[in-house]
């Protein structure tokens, strides 16, 4: 098996095809990783979530990481790690953005 670094364009292509990934966040030096449904567009990853541990942690520490695996077979695949910052889209303030994110996520779930 050969391991090589991917170019930014290849990473973005993997992100654009992904519908599932793992979200990592941390609070008080305690990591937390959960699977999430997601959609990628123009350097933004969208995830829908109800309130719980991940939202609580990301509100306190907005530094996050998402891992996407695209596995073809046992010896071929790609993994993308994307570091970023959590931004919540409150209903009233971000109504248009929330509708856009919902449409993107709905397309991925079909």
Q: Give the CATH number of the domain where residue 61 resides.
A: 2.30.110.10
At residue 40 the predicted structure's pLDDT band, cuts being 50, 70 and 90, is: very high
Query: Count of domains in the chain?
Result: 1
- Supply 88's token pair: 């919540």
Q: Give 38's contacts (C-beta < 8 A, 6+ positions apart).
A: 18, 19, 20, 21, 45, 46, 47, 66, 105, 108
- Report pLDDT for 110: 62
Q: Which two tokens stand for residue 64?
A: 């996050």
Q: Flag whether 51 is in a domain.
A: yes
Does the residue 24 lie in any domain?
A: yes
What one-character DSSP code corresponds to residue 35?
Answer: E
In a domain, 15, yes or no: yes
Q: Rounded to two decimals, what is the model's pTM?
A: 0.85
Would residue 55 count as lying in a domain?
A: yes
**Has residue 97 got a pLDDT over 80?**
yes
Residue 1 in domain: no
Angstrom distance (rounded) from CA 78 to CA 6 = 8
Specify if 3 maps to a domain.
no
Nearest to 100 by CA among 52, 59, 60, 41: 41
Q: Which domain holds residue 49?
A: 8-108
**Burial classification of residue 32, based on how many CB atoms lie within 10 Å of its CB (0-12 exposed, 13-18 middle, 19 or more buried):** middle
Residue 2 lies in a domain: no
């Amino acid at each position: 098996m050969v391991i090589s670094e991917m170019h930014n364009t290849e990473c973005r292509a993997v992100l654009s095809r992904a519908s599932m990934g793992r979200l990592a966040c941390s609070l008080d030096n305690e990591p937390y990783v959960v699977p999430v449904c997601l959609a990628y567009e123009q350097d933004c990853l969208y995830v829908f979530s109800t309130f719980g541990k991940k939202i609580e942690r990301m509100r306190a520490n907005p530094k996050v990481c998402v891992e996407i695996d695209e596995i073809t077979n046992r010896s071929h695949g790609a993994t993308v790690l994307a570091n970023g910052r959590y931004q919540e889209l409150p209903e009233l303030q971000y109504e248009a953005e929330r509708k856009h994110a919902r449409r993107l996520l709905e397309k991925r779930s079909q």
